[in-house]
Amino acid sequence: MRKPPTEVLEDNGHFQSLPLDMGRCVEPMTMYFYDKFARTCKPFSYGGVGGNQNRFYSFGDCMQTCHA
């Protein structure tokens, strides 16, 4: 599985509260974000560039990080 480019973003410790940001570019891939209102992780199509830290490669990684 191809991994998206990595960006160094400042971590304020509350990234799971960030809204969904699909990023930009035209190579969408399925990633997961934590929906704080539904209190679960949901899939979305990530564009490959940009976005925010509320983005995970798998549902399991998302839940382990955000739902603990």
CA distance 66 to 16: 6
CB 30 within 8 A of CB 45: yes
State residue 68's pLDDT score. 63
State residue 5's pLDDT score. 42
| Identity of the amino acid at 23 | G
State residue 7's pLDDT score. 42
State residue 16's pLDDT score. 75
Smallest CA-to-CA distance from 15 within 66, 67, 64 is with 66
Domains belonging to the chain, first-starting first, are 23-66 (4.10.410.10)
pTM for this prediction:
0.66
Please list the ranges in the chain whose pLDDT falls under 70.
1-13, 68
State residue 17's pLDDT score. 82
Q: What are the C-alpha distances in Å from 5 to residues 8, 25, 28, 31, 33?
A: 10, 11, 12, 13, 17
State residue 4's pLDDT score. 46
